[in-house]
Amino acid sequence: MLVLFVCCSCSQKIMNKINYQKEFEHIVNELQGDGRIPSLLLHSCCAPCSSYCIETLSEYFHVTVFYYNPNIYPDEEYYHRVKEQQSFIQKFPTKYPVSFIEGDFEKERFYSEVAKGLEKEPERGARCMKCYDLRLRETAKRGKAEGMDYFCTTLSISPMKDAQALNQIGLAIGQELGIAYLPSDFKKNNGYLRSCEISREYDMYRQDYCGCVFSVRE
């Protein structure tokens, strides 16, 4: 007989875990039932991660890709990823047209607002949480300024990213700033595998680190 002991705090985390992909599907089904095609500002970390997200979202939304990643290091890597993102959008066929906005490359802001004091944090630690907040917050602000109905991010497609944390941050920011956050976990339903497949099909540059100087070191 196997006896499984789970501490109170761990069991609470398990109970509170939400399937954000199911939340996404519920919203999409409601939109389809209403015959609505809302606008969506999609924060993208890179072209490969955006591939499956764009393929899926452009079936239901008027998508604008927002490339805001002040964490990227070095500068050449940043500009390489921007070009790859623009090139993919131009080549990839979608049901509804997808547009592109490049945010400011505020690398000093990343170091002062996110990394300062957290330089020794491991990946997926407090520094990453602050980085998620910075990028999602800027996406929400831009989305609201552009009159978008929703905002979300491609980051959840990575198996290395905490989808629970990303969605909780996005939902809180959306409520605070008055713009709807679209919950999602794009790695579900083989989303990550599909992104790899599209990357190969379009011969995309696929980096081997998240983006910041700290992820390079790890």
User: Is residue 2 domain-resident?
Assistant: no
Residue 7 maps to a domain: no
What's the average model confidence in pLDDT over 189-203? 97
Number of domains in the chain: 1
Residue 13 lies in a domain: no
Residues in the chain: 218
Could you tell me where the beta strands, DSSP code E, fall in the chain?
39-43, 62-67, 99-102, 150-153, 180-181
- pLDDT at position 3: 37
Do the strands 180-181 and 62-67 form a parallel or antiparallel pair, or are they unpaired?
Answer: unpaired
Q: Tell me, yes or no, whether 68 lies in a domain.
A: yes
Closest listed residue to residue 204, CA positions, set 100, 93, 50: 50
Average pLDDT over residues 152-156: 98
CATH code of the domain in which 82 resides: 3.40.50.620
Sorting pLDDT into bands at 50, 70 and 90, what band is 155? very high
Residue 109 belongs to a domain: yes
Q: Do the Cβ atoms of 48 and 80 come closer than 8 Å?
A: no
Asked if the structure places residue 124 within a domain, the reply is yes
Write out pLDDT tens, residues 1-59. 333 344 444 434 444 799 999 999 999 999 999 999 999 999 999 999 999 999 999 99
Residue 62 counted as domain residue: yes
Percent of the chain exceeding pLDDT 90 equals: 87
Q: Which domain holds residue 54?
A: 18-217
Task: Strand 99-102: give its sheet, edge to edge.
Answer: 99-102, 62-67, 39-43, 150-153, 180-181
Rounded to the nearest integer, the mean pLDDT of the chain is 92
pLDDT band at 216 (very low <50, low <70, confident <90, very high): confident
Residue 179 domain-assigned (yes or no)? yes
